[in-house]
Amino acid sequence: MTRRRFAVLGLGVVLGIGGLGLAWGQSAASEPRSSDRAAQNTGQPPCVVVWRSGGDNPEGNAGLDIAVWDDGTILYSPSRDRLGQHLVVGKAPVEDVRDMLAAIRTAGFWDDRRDYLVPDSSFTTIIVNEGGKRVSRQWHEYLLPGFGSSLGDAKYRDFVRSWKRTRGAIESLAPVEIQRLEEVVGDKPGVKPDFRGYNRAWPSHTPWSR
């Protein structure tokens, strides 16, 4: 009786441990990746947006360059030559996002400056949201002789310096995971779900793009 009872108890323990392992495995398997969870968080606009507008050329290269959220989620174009195409969702460490915002402040992006645009030309907008405040700057990004302002203008050179440092801070983000946007939102035939306010059917209608 004693030997049989221990055998039964041993079997119960094995089955119990196996059941716990199975339950844990099912729970782990059902846990979505952070990039999948990213699509579910739609309440806040990005803390940083870089968006290119095509000016008077409807066929020009325009669209989202990159958007960064406080939680480390990134939505970006993998090729700057094809903005808004084949978008990728990434995840960066939150502390890296904080460092990026600090570097943008150090770059003087929040200083009182004018925009530098050329009529009918394409231009880039950088938007930063931090601490309940928002700043937006625009520049054509063409350093060409005779195009736009002169580099002999100290204020213009200061603007260009600040812009390039801001760009560098944003581009320093290195995601720890990436996934194609259509895989995150779950595309279906004829249906393109939005991502955190990004309007995939009409990108220019994205509320935080301007």
Both structure tokens of 27: 């729970």
Q: Is pLDDT at 12 greater than 50 in this prediction?
A: no
Q: Is pLDDT at 156 greater than 60 in this prediction?
A: yes
- Strand order across the beta sheet in which 133-139 lies: 133-139, 123-130, 48-53, 63-68, 73-76, 88-91, 177-180
**Model confidence at 22, in pLDDT bands (50, 70, 90)?**
very low
Residue written as tokens 């203008």?
Answer: 153
According to the model, what pLDDT value does residue 33 have?
Answer: 52
Q: Long-range contacts of range 197-204, CB-CB < 8 Å, 24 or more positions apart?
A: 197/42, 197/45, 198/64, 198/67, 198/75, 203/63, 203/64, 203/84
Per-residue pLDDT of 71-103, as tens digits, reads 999 999 999 999 999 999 999 999 999 999 999
Mean pLDDT of 143-155: 91
Q: Is pLDDT at 40 greater than 80 in this prediction?
A: no
- Answer for the pair 77, 64: CB distance below 8 angstroms, yes or no: yes
Of residues 32 and 15, more confidently modeled = 32
May I ask the CATH class of domain 34-209? alpha beta
Report which residue type is found at 25: G
pTM of the predicted structure, to 2 decimals: 0.80
Cα dihedral across residues 110, 120, 207, 79: positive or negative: negative
H/E run at residue 25 = helix 2-30
Domain ranges of the chain: 34-209
